[in-house]
Amino acid sequence: MSAPLQTQACRLLGCDLPIVLAGMGGVARSELVGAVTLVGGFGFLGMAGEPAARIEREVAAVRAVTPRPFGVNLIPAATRPALLDEEVSACIALGVHAVMLFWTLDEKVVARFRDAGILVACQVGSRVEAQAAQQAGAGILVAQGVEAGGHVRGSLPLAKLLREVVPSSEVPVLAAGGIVDGRDLAAVLEAGAQGAVVGSAFLASPESFAHPYYKQRIVEAGAEDTVITDVFHIGWPIAAKMRVLRNSTTDRDRREAFQVPPVPIGMDDGQPVYRFSTAAPLRSTTGDLEAMALYAGKGVGRIDALMPAAARVEAMAAEAQAILAAKDRCRGSAAG
Ligand SMILES: Cc1cc2nc3c(=O)[nH]c(=O)nc-3n(C[C@H](O)[C@H](O)[C@H](O)COP(=O)(O)O)c2cc1C
């Protein structure tokens, strides 16, 4: 079943299917990465801001589940330099197959990974960023449309961004933002992408480390329930746009986010979670979960139930393959 969907990006990543789990901080840990990777997709561990010990633990846990390659996601711009150095060194020492980097381009980090023989994927939001990432040595680009859940780099809808990035790229381009099912996957493959990067839809799986309350909110949300906001900024060095579910915090006066001293509204891993923090509610989080950053892409309206990650990978692949095969038959009969 998998061969017709295999792309050059799959060959670089070492996976069978062009379905990539986004490296979601806190949420995409070993259980989810293992589940996606085991059935032929490719998973990125969301390790931004995590110490080397956690990266080592999570990489070992995935390796205990599957011998297939997988990757690690880091966000250099949101990580203290000493911690970033520790993370990069850990990934290199562990010999991870690939890394996905996001937000501003850190050429030195790209070069360190490249020199170590590690495939670098850079998630970008514009053609200019795509070109800079390629020049720095990215082996894969991820074009992130404005439909994406979490931090959103650019302002273009995915279809338009692909039209800008695909023709000018010499390396494979993956598509991210609002991709939920096989129809979406078929559409981005037809638009010239070599695979889909999926976040929110995999968040709504038993294997994700998101809090059950958060998963339920994703399942219940409608297409119009996400907003783009910069109020969730505590934990990042700069205020940055992100797409989240509208909630009691996004409804507050925006000035409060930047003018009032941080107010704790919960706890995670022994640390306070503040209102306006970038931390999303995880299995380990307690407190006012409704008021936290509920990252979600625009596809939420079509995520109607929790689905095991493997089942979602298989359903996406089967549906995309059927759609593309039917289109091929149509083209064949029109030509004949
Ligand atoms: C809960 C959540 C956390 C995210 N965390 C990260 C992250 O740590 N690093 C990163 O590069 N992207 C992160 N993203 C963005 C994803 O890389 C990707 O662009 C996005 O999930 C694609 O859109 P979708 O959620 O509609 O599938 C996150 C997205 C979500 C939903």
Q: At 35, which CATH number?
A: 3.20.20.70
Domain annotation covers residue 220 = no
Domain annotation covers residue 230 = yes
Spatial separation of the C-alpha atoms in residues 7 and 15, rounded to whole Å: 9
127 and 34 in a single domain? The answer is: yes
Which residue, judged by its Cα, is nearest atom 17 of ligand 1? 22
The model's pLDDT over 265-310, given as tens digits with 9 standing for 90+, comes to 999 999 999 999 999 999 999 999 999 999 999 999 999 999 999 9
Task: Quickly tell me which residue has 């023709």 as its tokens.
Answer: 167
What's residue 183's pLDDT?
Answer: 98
User: Domain range for residue 257?
Assistant: 226-295
7 and 97 in a single domain? The answer is: yes
141 and 245 in a single domain? The answer is: no
**Residues framing ligand 1 (Cβ under 6 A):** 22-25, 27, 46, 48, 73, 75, 102, 123, 144, 147-150, 176-179, 197-200, 203, 280, 295, 297, 299
CB–CB of 44/19 below 8 Å? no
23 and 120 in a single domain? The answer is: yes
97 and 195 in a single domain? The answer is: yes
Question: What spacing in Å lies between the alpha carbon of 332 and ligand 1's midpoint?
Answer: 38
Q: Which atom of ligand 1 is nearest to the CA of 180?
A: 27
Counted domains in the chain: 2
40 and 185 in a single domain? The answer is: yes
- Single out the residue of 321, 295, 239 nearest to residue 22, CA to CA: 295
Per mean pLDDT, which range of 18-27, 135-144, 158-167, 233-242 is the poorest? 233-242
249 and 117 in a single domain? The answer is: no
The gap from C-alpha 30 to its chain's centroid, in whole angstroms, comes to 15
- Single out the residue of 122, 73, 117 nearest to residue 95, CA to CA: 117
Domain annotation covers residue 215 = no
186 and 245 in a single domain? The answer is: no
20 and 116 in a single domain? The answer is: yes
Question: What spacing in Å lies between the alpha carbon of 149 and ligand 1's midpoint?
Answer: 5
The per-residue pLDDT of the chain, averaged, comes to: 96
183 and 329 in a single domain? The answer is: yes
166 and 284 in a single domain? The answer is: no
Question: What spacing in Å lies between the alpha carbon of 336 and ligand 1's midpoint?
Answer: 44
At 238, the amino acid letter reads: I
176 and 108 in a single domain? The answer is: yes
What's residue 1's pLDDT?
Answer: 41
